[in-house]
Amino acid sequence: MGKDDHGKHMKTAWVRIPDGIRVKHRHEGLEGVIDGLTEIVVGADRNPDGRTQYRMNIGVATRRLVVEDDLCILIDDENLVIMLRHKAAYRRSVTEQLHGLLSDDRFIKSA
């Protein structure tokens, strides 16, 4: 978060986690893939945009609604985000973008 000319904190625009990123639920241990956003939310928790939750695909025809604060990003042996059907150059770009938004402890090696 930056500061304006008067020293006040400016709100940074939220950048969503892209579809196809492999993630792990921080509390429940479930692993899956980001499969879009929904504005039909469950519970009080929301993403930083204040109105959505992620759809997390955890298996055949099984989705969970989760918020960004509950997710860790899974990375491979090269410390790049794991995404199906994407080349290393694109995954490197997405990894750098997400590192600018999330703390280092939110990135974990895939088992």
User: Is 9 among the domain residues?
Assistant: no
User: Is 4 among the domain residues?
Assistant: no
**CA 51 centroid distance within chain:** 15
Are 96 and 80 spatial neighbours (Cβ–Cβ below 8 Å)? no
User: Is 64 among the domain residues?
Assistant: yes
What long-range pairs does 84-87 form, CB within 8 A, spacing at least 24?
84/20, 84/33, 85/20, 86/20
| pLDDT of the residue at 12 | 61
User: Is 6 among the domain residues?
Assistant: no
Are 24 and 13 spatial neighbours (Cβ–Cβ below 8 Å)? no
45-79 per-position pLDDT tens digit = 999 999 999 999 998 788 999 999 999 999 999 99
Q: Please give the residue range of the domain that contains residue 97.
A: 22-106
Considering its fold, how many domains does the chain have in total?
1
User: Is 8 among the domain residues?
Assistant: no
User: Is 11 among the domain residues?
Assistant: no
pLDDT greater at residue 55 or residue 10: 55
User: Is 3 among the domain residues?
Assistant: no
Of the chain, the percentage scoring pLDDT greater than 90 comes to 75
User: Is 49 among the domain residues?
Assistant: yes
